[in-house]
Structure 1
């Protein structure tokens, strides 16, 4: 049995999977809201671990995989770069082990996502892949051959805090980002960033889902908003292709469900890729909302802690 937790900006998802089944069959799943402070988050995560192990009849020292925003420093274990800022500077893996007794492995949520998709999802069979999460934030993970590539300091794939490339006159100097920089891709491509732009153009305070519904119904402002979003997404991903030249980009997170966003982006991206012809595939994820939590569970695949 493998147990994973996906700690998101708005929800925490916990799941147990049958490690013996080729398709990693889901045995148990639960979702709760994400608190807005560290101590409450630690408490809720502890409760979810207990619930999973009770339901699946697992021992008190069963290992747990956790995907979270940001990434742990490989030397100190302290989380950095999380848009859920109360996680920054905390050693979540160590604190959870102390609180629950369970060994914990922690990895960036986008890295967990591409781990799942490379195993048996939309990136399976490709030699290189970039996994993208566009939701509350904007993250990425790099898969090369048969392994995740975290980079020298664990931040490989953090494309959301590069500046929006090839900006137009109405995109500079751009919005301020929570990270302290200006015009970050996350400020445009995250859910809050997209809605901010939509409302600045005169749209009401809708959800992303309602915006997409109105666009499909033919509303002009909403269609224009989706067109501009796809254009910015294509520019941001073209920048990554010019650096990494991966074979496939897999889209995940809530905004990956926007109407035909993968197809739109793939059609546009060649304008900015530094090649005579762009061959990159841009595809929707295979495992849906469960891909991140699957990848977190896979952090302990084929081994037990010593």
Structure 2
């Protein structure tokens, strides 16, 4: 039995998968806010209660909103700031008395979709997170690619390639740089772009709904977004050339992306053909927790 845990900013979710990938149990609880020790205890209780209910001990994989430093073993780059600088893997191994496998939540998303989702059977899968932030994960032959600095797939902090006629100066990113992919392509970035260009404050869901109803300003915002996303993904394709790109996060629910992105990517891809598939996730919001379980694959 494989146990996967998705440690999010607002909730902690656990899933139990049988050896064939079928779900046996799923539970979620609220994440203790800003309290590292309480978070450890909450994870421990989830594992204990799950194993007691199923009468079986399982392997444990954990998806986190950050990364583990390969130099120190401490958590870095986490938007749940109470995790930063903490020996999370070591503490959980002590608490649960077993080896723990741990990965960034975007890597877990990509792994889930590569194992038994939209990227099943593909040699190379790039998993994209388009939501409050922008992230990514790379899976090659069923294995997460971590990289020398444990940042493989972090395309959200590459600069967005420029284009003639694009609107506005490069926006600031929380990482301290300007013009990062995340600063252009997150949900809040879409809302900011619409406000700048139309003077109307709408979120991404409202922009899509208005565009579908024929609103010209909202349609123009989505067209700019798709052009930028196409350029950003083309850079990934030129380097990695994945068989499948799976979109996740809140913005991945926009069905027009799957119709329009191949044409937006194509002119920027160094090839006479465009065989890369851009697909929605099979497991949706469950891919992170499922991927954590599949870290023991």
- For 1:182, which of 173, 178, 193 is the aligned residue? 178
CA contact (8 A) 1:234 1:268 kept: yes
- Residue 18 (structure 1) aligns with: 18
- Residue 115 (structure 1) aligns with: 111
Is residue 2:85 matched to residue 1:89? yes
More displaced 10-residue stretch of structure 1: 69-78 or 5-14 = 5-14
CA contact (8 A) 1:16 1:56 kept: no
Relative to structure 1, the CA distance from residue 227 to residue 83 in structure 2 (aligned partners, 3 Å threshold; closer, same or farther) is farther
- For 2:208, which of 206, 212, 215 is the aligned residue? 212
Is residue 2:189 matched to residue 1:196? no
Describe how 1:159-178 pairs up with structure 2 within 5 A: 159-167=155-163, 173-178=169-174
Describe how 1:279-294 pairs up with structure 2 within 5 A: 279-294=275-290
Deviation of the 1:84 alpha carbon: 3.4
Deviation of the 1:195 alpha carbon: 2.5
Describe how 1:203-282 pairs up with structure 2 within 5 A: 203-206=200-203, 208-282=204-278
CA contact (8 A) 2:123 2:243 kept: yes
Instruction: Tell me the TM-score normalised to structure 1 length.
Output: 0.86
CA–CA separation in structure 2 for the residues paired with 1:267 and 1:185? 19
Question: What secondary structure is seen at the aligned counterpart in 2 of 1:105?
Answer: strand
Relative to structure 1, the CA distance from residue 162 to residue 171 in structure 2 (aligned partners, 3 Å threshold; closer, same or farther) is farther
Relative to structure 1, the CA distance from residue 170 to residue 105 in structure 2 (aligned partners, 3 Å threshold; closer, same or farther) is same
CA contact (8 A) 2:126 2:136 kept: yes
- For 2:34, which of 34, 37, 43 is the aligned residue? 37
CA contact (8 A) 1:10 1:136 kept: no
CA contact (8 A) 2:111 2:142 kept: no
Deviation of the 1:298 alpha carbon: 1.1
Question: What secondary structure is seen at the aligned counterpart in 2 of 1:300?
Answer: coil
- Residue 6 (structure 1) aligns with: 6
Deviation of the 1:90 alpha carbon: 2.2
CA contact (8 A) 2:125 2:246 kept: yes
Relative to structure 1, the CA distance from residue 171 to residue 50 in structure 2 (aligned partners, 3 Å threshold; closer, same or farther) is farther
Q: Over residues 1-40 of structure 1, what are the superposed CA-to-partner deviations in whole Å (9 max), with x where a residue is unaligned?
A: 2111122344432211122x3xx11122233444552525
